[in-house]
Structure 1
Amino acid sequence: MKFGGILGFDNGIIVAPMGADVSGPELVAAVANAGGIGLIASPVNKYELTVKAIRQTRNLTKKPFGAGILLEFDQEKTINAIFDEKLACMEVYWGDFPKEMVDEAHKHGVKVIHQVGSVKAAERAIAAGVDCVIAQGVEAGGHIAGTVSLTALVPRVVDVARDWGIPVVAAGAISDARGYVAALALGAKGICVGTRFIATHEAYANDYYKQQLLNYKENQTDRTDLYERLTWRANVRCLNTPFHQKWHDAPDTVQNDDSQPIIGKSIIYSNETILRRFSGQVANPTTTGKLEDMVMYAGQGVGLVNDIVSAREVIRRYVDGAKAIIQEMGQIYLAENNHKGHGASMEEEDGEADLIVEDGWAWV
């Protein structure tokens, strides 16, 4: 499934490094095997656990893959593990990644992908020498740094990156091939996808969470900072579940501290984790407790997620669907003029320049 490959991969489809461990070895390997860019949701500042996750993924694929790093926290140990294991790429997010760190990554043969939510952040990333920029629109699920829609943000970031020859990837509510083609039309070279990949067999998410994605539409998500306030106050987009609706307007003093009841437990990267109300951890297959009271991250593209399939099938739909749309649009908008034959042009009349079609290309 080669189509629009970037950074040496067969296609330009990236699976977002969804935490805490949704983007685990099985999902990352499945995306890699299908020619996409798989990104492990790395443990926070844990060398041994990061190496373990990388090696588990390598047991499932011979293809290159990468890992995601959340810059909000100290990640020196995790980054060192990525360098030592010589991954193909590393996605960084939610903070600056200075030139000296980009240069260090390059010394280890690791390409740097920086996800941003604004033009200014993109400019800083480009100046630091990154290999790729992901422009994330406010429609995206999970943690969202920006406030601008994808269609407004991507062309601006593309304009900034063009002179540097740096590819831009679009992220935010791209759940089918139509969104993929739209991103390409905006100037992006690929897409970064989260919500659609949660609803796959390989995603390390609880089945309850996966099924809930099938029941919600684009107007049933909410951008909020309600979750994980104790350690990190950040906006996320999640499903507007009955639990979330009840607590949506909770004052800033409400947070996931010890005063909140325990609503469940999970095993995350081999460690048992207690989940209190308003925890920012989504449910994985080991999670027990009140699943309906847990956060469920999802973007506004959730209304287009209608089934649970393999990650390979998701990528096939993106690739084959995009090819079909582009071909159909070419037939409609770039069709040869049957009356004048191949290479014909529409002559200028009344002082107005008309459309010229030649060898499959069109211009005025």
Structure 2
Amino acid sequence: MKSGGILGVEHGIVLAPMGADVAGPELVAAVANAGGVGLLASPVNNYDETVKAIRAIKKLTDKPFGAGILLEFDNSKTIQAIYDEKLAFMQVYWGEFPKEKVDEAHKHGVKILHQLGSVEAAEKAVAAGVDCIIAQGVEAGGHIVGTVSLMALLPRIVDVVGDKNIPVVAAGSITDARGYAAALALGAKGVCLGTRFIATKEAYAHEYYKETLLKYNEQQTDRTDLYGRYTWRAYVRCLSTPFHEFWKQSPDYDHLTNDESQPIIGHCVIYDKETILRRFAGQVANPTTTGQLENMCMLAGEGVGLVNDIVPAGEIVKRFVEGVKAIIQDLGASYEEK
């Protein structure tokens, strides 16, 4: 029995391009080498740093991989680097990517995966001719563009796609093979994983962040726009840490902004750029981060309660592929007419 590959890749497991640099070269290569779709968290509108990261991945794998782009910002330089380096995939998110841009990507041999959170957005993506749609439910970690749960959204988007041969990938609180099987039952061809891949050896996340994920469950996340308001006020899902719970109760909650009025709580290096982290900054902690780690944003989805260990990324892919095969076989045996 095949595990169900997509886009010419062996398995239907997609690495979410988690920023600012959690989904870095080592993690992307590890997922690609395991037969999944590895997606780099691209530097924002930086040609040279994007090329540097892509070439670092190429040293670690000869498998196809891609990069993620946030459409909220000008990323023309980063996109050009992706085209020049001849990546296999580009994931676009948080905005529209019309047919002329999809056509341009195709001229460069790049397949487009459009992540979205509504039926309306899916209709536009289908019309634009994208190669894959990632349906993101509101229970997902990180930035969440929609307000509908994956269970309700996914089959609706599958119906929108119809017979157009565009694979739909499910994203949102999927952290083990049972979630993968459920997504397949709803019509998806694959799953996109974020939170589960943070807790891996190769993820470029601080060990404190990884270990903290193991201590939280589905009731301890929150959809909020508290973090990163200075540059982009957008909803994310994060862990409801003591820091988060304290400030959520503040009478000034709606006006708290990570501007210069806030104290500096840490420092880090993101794609060779030294970054000051003020209270309520949107960046998560990477291995270079110093300071008040417990008071920093920790992005995670509602599936965090099933994240119980930190293992190599290849092991995650293996668990999903072997697990979903076993589930499907068991279901077949259970429901087969005697």
TM bucket (normalised to shorter chain) is over 0.9
SS of residue paired to 2:180: helix
Q: Report which stretch shifted further, 69-78 or 156-165.
A: 156-165
Aligned equivalent of 2:317:
315
Please state if 1:232 is matched with 2:232.
yes
Match of 1:287 among 282, 286, 289: 289
CA distance in 1, matches of 2:73, 2:7: 27
Are 2:143 and 1:143 equivalent residues in the alignment? yes
Q: 2:40 is matched with which residue? A: 40
CA separation of 1:2 and 1:15: change in aligned 2, threshold 3 A:
farther
In 2, the alpha carbon distance for the partners of 1:125 and 1:151 equals: 20
Q: Deviations for 1:326-353, whole angstroms, at most 9, x for unmatched residues?
A: 000101001x42xxxxxxxxxxxxxxxx
- The higher-RCO structure (CA 8 Å, 6+ apart) is 2
CA distance in 1, matches of 2:281, 2:2: 40
Residue by residue over 1:242-286, the C-alpha shift from the partner in whole angstroms, topping out at 9 and shown as x without a partner, is 000011144322100000000000010011100000000000000
1:345 aligns to what?
Answer: none
Provide the TM-score with structure 2 as the length reference. 0.98
Query: Contact 2:168–2:190 (CA<8 Å) still a contact in 1?
Result: yes
Q: Match of 2:335, as an amino acid?
A: Y
CA apart distance, 1:192: 0.3
What does residue 9 of structure 1 align with? 9
Alpha-carbon distance between aligned partners in 1 of 2:257 and 2:4, rounded to the nearest angstrom: 44
CA displacement 1:147-198 (0-9 Å, x = unmatched): 0000000000000012322110000000000000000000000000000000
2:303 corresponds in structure 1 to 301
- SS of residue matched to 1:90: strand
Gap regions ≥5 residues in structure 1: 338-364
CA distance in 1, matches of 2:149, 2:111: 27
Partner AA of 1:123 in structure 2 = E
Question: Which residue is equivalent to 1:272?
Answer: 274
Provide the rounded CA distance (Å) in 1 between the counterparts of 2:328 and 2:234.
38
The answer on whether the counterparts of 1:39 and 1:65 sit within 8 Å (CA) in structure 2 is: yes
Q: Report if the CA contact (8 A) 2:247-2:253 is conserved.
A: no
Partner of 2:76: 76
The number of residue pairs the alignment matches comes to 336
Q: 8 Å contact 1:2–1:35 — kept in the other structure?
A: no
Tell me the CA shift for residue 98 of structure 1.
1.1
Displacement of 1:5 after TM fit?
0.3
Alignment of 1:334-345 (within 5 A): 334=336, 336-337=337-338
Write the letter of the residue equivalent to 1:305.
V
1:72 is displaced (CA, Å) by 0.5
**Mapping of residues 181-192 of structure 1, within 5 Å:** 181-192=181-192
**Equivalence map 1:234-253=2 (5 Å):** 234-249=234-249, 250-253=252-255
Q: Distance in 2 between matches of 1:219 and 1:258?
A: 33
State the shift of 1:133 in Å. Answer: 0.2
Q: Does 1:128 align with 2:154?
A: no
Amino acid at match of 1:180: Y
CA distance in 1, matches of 2:71, 2:47: 16
Larger Rg: 1
Specify the alignment match of 1:352 in structure 2.
none
Query: How many Å separate the matches in 2 of 1:105 and 1:316?
Result: 31
Unaligned runs of 5+ in 2: none
Distance in 1 of aligned mates of 2:95 and 2:180: 27
Conserved 8 A contact 1:11-1:36: yes
**Shift, 1:2, TM fit:** 5.8
Q: Over the residues paired in the alignment, what is the CA RMSD in angstroms?
A: 0.9
3-state SS of 2:105 partner: helix
Q: Aligned runs of 1:25-64 on 2, under 5 Å?
A: 25-64=25-64
String of CA shifts for 1:184-215, please: whole Å, max 9, x gaps: 00000000000000000000000000000000
Q: CA deviation at 1:3?
A: 1.6
Looking at structure 1, the residues matched to 259 and 273 of structure 2 have their Cα atoms a distance apart, in angstroms, of: 19
The residue that corresponds to 1:350 in the other structure is none
Please report the TM-score for the alignment, with normalisation by the length of structure 1: 0.91
> Which 4+ residue blocks in structure 1 deviate beyond 2 angstroms?
249-252
**Structure 1: how far apart are the matches of 2:322 and 2:101?**
37
